[in-house]
């Protein structure tokens, strides 16, 4: 069935647009998006040309793995900057970016013969902005991979730069390429938007690469940095949450007891933050009153302090991104207070009354101890996530006058909620590293 002719007209209110024009605009947008992703990838990869004392040249590639004190750190293959003959010295190594053909002189700060790895340091160009452009990832056999350059030139032919992982042994990755040309040593071996290794050899149609995890571990040692610990603190955030309350009710739990909370968070010690919270919980239950099942509701307000310790139990085998908080533990204490009003069957709120119908000036308060576990995500300005907080109260989480009813002497509760926060001041790493 033909949906549209090539020159079919699509009508909008007051406008007529040809379908061919829509297809052309769509393809243009897709091309621009692809070019933007490619430009972002190229921005973090460099070409390297080394001049040796015997006047020979060695071309290769490298990629930026870190930034500190207005300097960039580049990983490349050792043989790109050091000659196999120890008697032949290195005169200089020039680094050039895809966006700027001019070269920057580089200083070799670390070499590792076992990994065939060299770490270079260059002054950060004034126009350059390094971003955490990808994630390191472990390669698997039959993964589709690609390289960025060869023969000292940037690769623009996607099919020519495409290959497949065929062997993995230890830290070494081997991949087959149909149209391989030599000259890609030191460049990244890419899997989608992830880096899986660094190219060491490019003989024939096969590439050998070293695993990215081994490279980063060695680079972190050289930079003397723990990317999980070094942050530009303090970190400040404020926000709110909505949660279900379970267990903190008299009699049989009634569905959907909701609560709300506001919080403010401050981190001055890496991974450990102080959190001030104020909560307002609606407790609900079904009670049997004079042989009738009635819905009962009461409100409890609380305020307190807690410590949050951020952990990374979702990032086994990978260095955690400090912009994200894969998980945290929370310990705290709060002051709780019952609202003197109750209501039955979702009717009007009323003060508690004694047997003669007189209103009671009821006030009940105590302390609660909290333990929580949660997970979340931090962007540049917002954070959101979910957590579960278990509560033990020194006072019964039910009104005293209801104690004759079964099950009202409850000390335990749990909050299961979603939170959203605004990052007043985000915690940026003092040393940016690929992770």
At 112-140, the pLDDT tens digits run 998 999 999 999 888 887 766 567 788 88
pLDDT at 362: 58
Sorting pLDDT into bands at 50, 70 and 90, what band is 307?
very high
Calculate the dihedral angle through the C-alpha atoms of 149, 223, 124, 319, rounding to the nearest 10 degrees.
60
Q: Do domains 45-123 and 135-212 have the same CATH topology?
A: yes
Q: Which two tokens stand for residue 211?
A: 């695993």
pLDDT in tens, 207-252: 899 998 888 888 888 877 665 555 677 889 999 999 888 765 544 4
Residues 6+ apart with CB under 8 A from 241: 260, 261, 263, 417, 418, 419, 420
Phi-psi region of 224 (alpha: psi -120 to 50; beta: other; left: phi over 0): left
pLDDT, one tens digit per residue, over 313-327 is 433 233 344 445 568
Q: How confident is the model at residue 10 (pLDDT cuts 50, 70, 90)?
A: very low
Q: What Å distances lie between residue 318 and 81, 112, 231, 253, CA to CA?
A: 29, 21, 18, 43
Please report the pLDDT score of residue 159 as a whole number. 56
The mean per-residue pLDDT over the stretch 56-80 comes to: 88
What's the pLDDT score for residue 97?
Answer: 86
Task: Please check the confidence at residue 255 and state whether its pLDDT lies above 70.
Answer: no
Q: Where are the beta strands (DSSP E) in 272-411?
A: 272-289, 292-311, 327-344, 350-351, 364-378, 382-393
Per-residue confidence band for 371, with pLDDT thresholds at 50, 70 and 90: very high
In this predicted structure, what is the pLDDT of residue 136? 77
Q: Where are the domains of the chain?
A: 45-123, 135-212, 231-429
Range with lowest mean pLDDT among 23-27, 92-96, 267-271, 412-416:
23-27
Query: Locate tokens 């032949």: which residue?
Result: 88
Say which CATH topology domain 231-429 has. Answer: Porin (2.40.160)
pLDDT for position 321? 47
| Whole-number percent of the chain with pLDDT over 70 | 69
* Residue 274 pLDDT level (bands cut at 50, 70, 90): very high
**Tokens 């267990």 belong to residue:** 247
Considering the chain, what is the average pLDDT of its residues?
Answer: 76
> Considering only the top CATH level, what class is 135-212?
mainly beta
- Beta-sheet pairing, 71-77 with 15-18: unpaired
Q: What is the pTM of this model?
A: 0.55
The pLDDT assigned to 152 comes to 67
CA pair distance 141, 21, nearest whole angstrom: 43
For 323, counting Cβ atoms within 10 Å of its Cβ (0-12 exposed, 13-18 middle, 19+ buried), the class is: middle
Whether residue 41 is predicted with pLDDT greater than 80 in this model: the reply is no
The CATH class given to the 45-123 domain equals mainly beta
Give residue 251's pLDDT. 44
Q: Is the pLDDT of residue 345 over 50?
A: yes
pLDDT at 353: 62
pLDDT exceeds cutoff 50 at 428? yes
* CB neighbour class for 42 (10 Å; exposed up to 12, middle 13-18, buried from 19): middle
């Amino acid at each position: 069935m033909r949906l549209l002719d090539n020159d079919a007209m699509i009508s909008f209110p007051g406008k007529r647009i040809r379908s061919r024009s829509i297809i052309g605009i769509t393809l243009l947008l897709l091309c621009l998006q692809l070019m933007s992703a490619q430009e972002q990838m190229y921005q973090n990869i460099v070409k390297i040309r080394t001049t040796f004392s015997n006047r020979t040249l060695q071309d290769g590639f490298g990629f930026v793995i870190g930034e500190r004190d207005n300097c960039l750190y580049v990983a490349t293959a050792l043989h790109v900057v050091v000659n196999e003959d120890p008697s032949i010295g290195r005169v200089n190594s020039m680094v050039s970016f895809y966006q700027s053909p001019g070269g920057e002189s580089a200083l070799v700060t670390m070499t590792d013969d076992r990994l065939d790895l060299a770490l270079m340091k260059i002054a950060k160009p004034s126009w350059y902005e390094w971003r955490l452009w990808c994630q390191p990832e472990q390669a698997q056999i039959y993964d589709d991979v690609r390289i960025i350059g060869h023969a000292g030139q940037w690769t623009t032919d996607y099919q020519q730069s495409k290959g497949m992982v065929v062997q993995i042994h230890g830290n070494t990755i081997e991949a087959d390429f149909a149209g391989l040309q030599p000259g890609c040593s030191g460049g990244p071996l890419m899997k989608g938007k992830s880096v899986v290794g660094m190219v060491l050899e490019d003989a024939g149609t096969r590439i050998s690469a070293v695993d990215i995890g081994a490279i980063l571990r060695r680079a972190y040692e050289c930079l003397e940095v723990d990317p999980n610990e070094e942050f530009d603190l303090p970190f400040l955030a404020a926000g709110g949450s909505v949660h279900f309350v379970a267990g903190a009710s008299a009699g049989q739990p009634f569905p959907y007891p909701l609560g709300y909370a506001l919080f403010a968070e401050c981190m001055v010690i890496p991974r450990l933050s102080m959190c001030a919270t104020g909560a307002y919980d609606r407790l609900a239950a079904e009670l049997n009153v004079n042989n009738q099942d009635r819905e009962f509701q009461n409100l409890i307000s609380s305020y307190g302090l807690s410590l949050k310790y951020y952990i990374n139990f979702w990032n086994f085998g990978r260095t955690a991104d400090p912009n994200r908080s894969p998980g945290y533990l929370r310990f705290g204490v709060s002051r709780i207070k019952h609202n003197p009003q109750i209501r039955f069957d979702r009717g009007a709120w009323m003060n508690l009354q004694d047997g003669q119908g007189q209103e009671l000036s009821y006030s009940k308060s105590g302390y609660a101890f909290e333990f929580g576990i949660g997970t979340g995500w931090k962007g540049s300005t917002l954070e959101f996530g979910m957590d579960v907080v278990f509560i033990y109260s020194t006072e019964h989480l039910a009104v005293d006058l209801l104690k004759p009813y079964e099950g009202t002497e409850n000390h335990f509760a749990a909050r299961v909620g979603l939170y959203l926060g605004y990052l007043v001041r985000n915690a940026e790493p003092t040393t940016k590293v690929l992770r």
